[in-house]
Structures are given as C-alpha cells and as structure tokens.
Structure 1
Amino acid sequence: MMAKLDAHMHVWSLARGDYDWLTPSLADIYRDFCLDDVWPDAQQAGVKRCILVQAAASAEETDYLLSLAANDDRIAGVVGWVDFEAGNAVGEIERRAAQQGLVGLRPMIADLPDPEWILQSRVAPALDTMSQTGLVLDGHARPDLVPVVTALASRYPALSIVLNHAGKPPISTGEVDTWLADITVLAACPNVSTKLSGLLTEAGARADDAAIGEIVAHLAACFGPRRVIWGSDWPVLTMAGTYQEWAGQSERLIARYFPGNEDAIRHANAARIYLGNSGGRLGQA
C-alpha cells in the first residue's frame, strides 16, 4: 500500500489571536493543536505527509503555517489565505505563488455574509492570477454554496478548485436530495475535485457506513477516481470521532466505492492536484 497524504489538516495556537470563528463555545477544539498531537494516530493509519489548510483570514497565519512547513518534512504543502479585495491582491498572490510550500489559497467564503462574494467583479483579478500561477483554490463551502462553486468553476475554467468536505452534505438529517443534485452539476466541471473529508462531522447520529456510504457512492459516480482526495479535517474531526475511527471507516468506503483506485484517493490525486507530481516521493508504506 502506498503511503497516505492527508490533504486536510489544521494546526493552531490560540495565543496568535486571529481565529475569529474559534471561540470557547467550541470547547472540544478550543485549545492549541500541533502535528505532534495527532501524528502517532496518523502514522498508524498509514499517513506519511499532510497538507495544512488555513484556519484564519490573515496573512500572518499563512506565514505561520509556511514557517512550520519549512522545518517539518511531514508537511507537503500549505493552503493559505490572501485578501482578494486588497489593492495589492494580484501582487500578493504572485508573491505567495513563488513561496516554497504554498500550494493553494482558501478564502473563507462560508463565513461571509454575501454567499456570492466570490463571484463579484472586484475579486476577479485575484482569481485570474490564481489561474495563471497554478495555485489551487480550496472551496470553503456548505451545501447552499455548491451552486456558487459551480458558477465559479464555469467562469474560471483554468482555475483548479477543490471542494472542501464534499460541500458538507447534511448527512445528519438525511435530507440530501438537493446536495445530490447540486454535486452532479458541479462535478460536470472538469476543473473541480472534491475532498473526501469532514463527513463524520456532518453525520451526527447517522455516522454508519450506510449513511456516509451514500455520500461516498455519489462522489464516486460523479467525480470518478481521479478527482476525489482523502483528508481528515483534524482536529475539527475530534468533535465527532477519533482519527483512527475516520481512517478506518474511510478505508472501508474507499475500498467499496473506488475498487482498484485506493491509492489514487489516498494520495496520488492530492499529489497531482496540489503538488504537481505523482507523489512518488511519499514512498511506500
């Protein structure tokens, strides 16, 4: 088995003070997290490297993550943040694209009051620059934003987009018909991939293989084996289960719905889409 690349992890230090969404009400994750906290479990699950994803809408946090990546071989890349509305957004994206370790950007669109913010003309220069530099746009999404991501992908066909957490399907309620239809339309855009991550957090009491499997089956049917990327969403994952629980469940579902393509989901797709290579340097497990 080829070693896994966990394509969606976070680390944070509360003392940094720019995690606006992270409040004491989220008691389970309102503390510092570093890679060493999870790495024994990640290694047991066959993970060799990871991609860190921003958790704060600040340039300072991106610098923090890049500083970690520069000194830790476990970190394959960083998905950072840039102010797309800033007067120097184009220059800043070009500068960031040249930085060692930066593989993508994630505007936190699900936290903004305007659901169509990403489609406004004032952010178009930033998106054009991302297309030109090859940076991946991580789609910070929720179910109602899936059509927005579709519009974005259609407008910027050269922009590689990775939908985070499969758009957070409402597994807990079972009311997934709209999500199923919207994902079918989104997946018709060839520049869009999706992360097989965050599903346990959305499942609530419906965390069994059957309920989550319905979601994975649809992703497999729509995106195929080359546009689905595995990740954990640790430490947010810990609000719903352990790293080992998600690793085990996702292994079963990947084997069931992507037979013969397990290594593509577990590492090769992320290596190709984010790192521009086949991922061979990740080695064998």
Structure 2
Amino acid sequence: MPQPIIDTHLHLIDQSRLSYPWLGDVPALNRSFSLDEYWSQAQPLGIVAALHMEVDVSPEQSEAETAFVQGLGRPVIGAIASARPEDPHFAAQLERMAATPFIRGIRRILHTSPDELSQAPLFAENLRRLAQYDLSFDLCVLARQLPIAADLVRACPDTRFVLDHCGVPAVEAQALSPWAEDIRRLAELPNLACKISGVVAYAGQQWTTADLRPFVEHCIACFGWDRVVWGSDWPVCTLTGDLGRWVQATHEILSGCSDSETSRLLSGNAKRIYRLSNQDF
C-alpha cells in the first residue's frame, strides 16, 4: 500500500466568488476548479489531506479567499494565505491572520514580480515578523531569482521558508546549470525547506519520469529527507499531464527509498513545517 500523502500545494479556483486577473493569460486554467473535482482524483491516489495555496486573487480579496477555502472543510485542513509584505499595513494584516489557526503560512508571488520587490528593506522586516507567530513563508521564484531568494532567507534567520516548485528549473531544456549550484547554496540555509512540486509544469507536454528525476533527486540530496515536502500544484499540473501522472512519477522517483524517507517527504515533514496535528485529520 502506498504511503499516505499530504498535498501541501492545492489551488482551488471559484470564478463565481473571486477574481483571478492572471487567468486571462492562461486559457487552459481559465475556469473554476472545485474541491469535488480535485478530491475525486486525489483520494484514490492516496492523498489524505491538503493545504490550500493562495491563487493570486485580486489583492483586496485575499482574506475572502481564505474564508472561502476555510468554509470547505476536509480534506482541506489549512491554508497558505495571500499577503503583501511590501505593504506598510502588513503588520495589522498579519495579526488578523495569526488569529486564524487555519492559516499555516503566507505567500507573496515573486516569480512574476520585479526583483526589487523582495529586496526592499520593508519586505524582509515584515517577513521577520512571521517568526513570532510561527507562520512560514512560501517562496515562489524563478530559477534566475534563486540568488536573491537566498538573500531574503538570510535576512530573516528566524523565519521558516519553503521553496516552491524546486526553484522552478527549466526541466524541458534539462538546464541543470546554474540551477543546481544555486539550489546547493540555498540548502545551506537551515531555515529553508524545499517543496517537491510544480516541476511538471516546466517539463513540456511529452515529459517522462526520467526528465523530472535529476531535478527532484538533486533537491532531496541537497536539502535532505527532513526538509522536503510534496505538493500537487493542482490544477497547474494539468497543463502538461494530470494529477495521477505526477503522483505516479513521484512514486517512481522514490522507488528504492526507505519507508521512513518516503514517509517524511510525503507527509511527516509537512506536519512539522506547517504545524499540523492529528486533530487536523
């Protein structure tokens, strides 16, 4: 029987409730994706619970998005909520989020933002505030932005970070350099974990497990089995395949690993990093 999986990167889209400005540029995703649609695919694959990852709604709707997802109930057991650390009023927003135990961390999309955004002193100052609330920050950056991501993580040594999508490598081009060295340097930072997710979206339509393997295995080798978590990136993963194909590829990559190693990647580390308890399941 496969190990149970906690999905740390589920996106749900409800266009009847919320506005997603970026979806106009991605026709294949420009519709609603419901929890029922996801769960009908995820449950047979061994996924037992999921954390919702913010979907870059219009900024004024960020708290409404969290409220919407929280109202869905299980299998969604928490959220990584949208926030704007560059905002002078971020501290007040953070207090409201910290008062909602359902929120496990926050994210601000950086891979489509100017590099200067995350390098501003206020951005790091506000991320340092997360530590006192035991909230994490998910880093979503392009491969070329990994060095400035390292600067941000270093500037916030007490804040817990999670690097999304293996640092967005160019999988289809098999561009291991300089991505691999940048990942190795990032992994030296003890307050950073890595999310094994999203790589299929950058792998092209005809990807195979062999295409993904060097990128996933390098992240695991650099970060170690105690600092990796798994995410589906559904429905973005459907751009080049489907959820089942990504789960199958994950199991193929992990074939030969110990039960302990597999369990830590697929569920154990997620419980610790995102502060999940048995009562959440």
Q: TM-score, length-normalised on structure 2?
A: 0.93
Residue in 2 that maps onto 1:14: 15
Q: Deviations over 1:105-126 (max 9, x none)?
A: 11111121x2131121122331
Q: CA deviation at 1:186?
A: 0.3
Q: 1:187-266 maps to which residues of 2 (within 5 A)?
A: 187-204=187-204, 207-256=207-256, 260-266=260-266
Q: CA deviation at 1:2?
A: 4.6
Mind listing any 5+ residue stretches in structure 1 that lack a counterpart?
none
Q: CA deviation at 1:273?
A: 0.2
Which moves more between the two structures, 237-246 or 48-57? 48-57
Q: Whole-Å Cα distance in 2 between the matches of residues 264 and 98 of structure 1?
A: 29
Q: Whole-Å Cα distance in 1 between the matches of residues 105 and 11 of structure 2?
A: 14
Which moves more between the two structures, 222-231 or 49-58? 49-58
Q: Percent of counterpart pairs with the same letter?
A: 26
SS of the residue corresponding to residue 219 of structure 2 reads: helix
Residue in 1 that maps onto 2:104: 103
Q: 1:105-124 maps to which residues of 2 (within 5 A)?
A: 105-112=106-113, 114-124=114-124
Q: Whole-Å Cα distance in 2 between the matches of residues 181 and 129 of structure 1?
A: 30
| Contact kept in structure 1, 2:50 and 2:76, CA below 8 Å | yes
Q: Whole-Å Cα distance in 1 between the matches of residues 65 and 117 of structure 2?
A: 26
Matched, 1:180 2:180: yes
Residue in 2 that maps onto 1:149: 149
Q: TM-score, length-normalised on structure 1?
A: 0.91
Which moves more between the two structures, 59-68 or 181-190? 59-68
Which moves more between the two structures, 237-246 or 68-77? 68-77
**Cα distance change, pair 150–258 in 1 and its aligned pair in 2 (3 A):** farther
RMSD: 1.9
**Cα distance change, pair 59–191 in 1 and its aligned pair in 2 (3 A):** farther
Amino acid across the alignment from 2:36: D
| Contact kept in structure 1, 2:18 and 2:61, CA below 8 Å | no
Paired residues, number = 279
**Cα distance change, pair 117–257 in 1 and its aligned pair in 2 (3 A):** farther
**Cα distance change, pair 37–71 in 1 and its aligned pair in 2 (3 A):** closer
Amino acid across the alignment from 1:228: V
Which moves more between the two structures, 126-135 or 228-237? 126-135
Matched, 1:140 2:140: yes
SS of the residue corresponding to residue 201 of structure 2 reads: helix
Q: Whole-Å Cα distance in 2 between the matches of residues 233 and 84 of structure 1?
A: 23
Amino acid across the alignment from 1:141: V
Mind listing any 5+ residue stretches in structure 2 that lack a counterpart?
none
Residue in 1 that maps onto 2:67: 66
**Cα distance change, pair 67–15 in 1 and its aligned pair in 2 (3 A):** closer
**Cα distance change, pair 282–5 in 1 and its aligned pair in 2 (3 A):** farther
Q: 1:87-102 maps to which residues of 2 (within 5 A)?
A: 87-102=88-103
Q: Whole-Å Cα distance in 1 between the matches of residues 108 and 23 of structure 2?
A: 17
Q: Deviations over 1:84-128 (max 9, x none)?
A: 23332112112211213001111111121x213112112233112
Q: Whole-Å Cα distance in 1 between the matches of residues 68 and 82 of structure 2?
A: 14
Residue in 2 that maps onto 1:274: 274
Q: Whole-Å Cα distance in 2 between the matches of residues 227 and 59 of structure 1?
A: 33
Q: Deviations over 1:26-66 (max 9, x none)?
A: 22211001110111210011011101011125252333233
| Contact kept in structure 2, 1:5 and 1:270, CA below 8 Å | yes
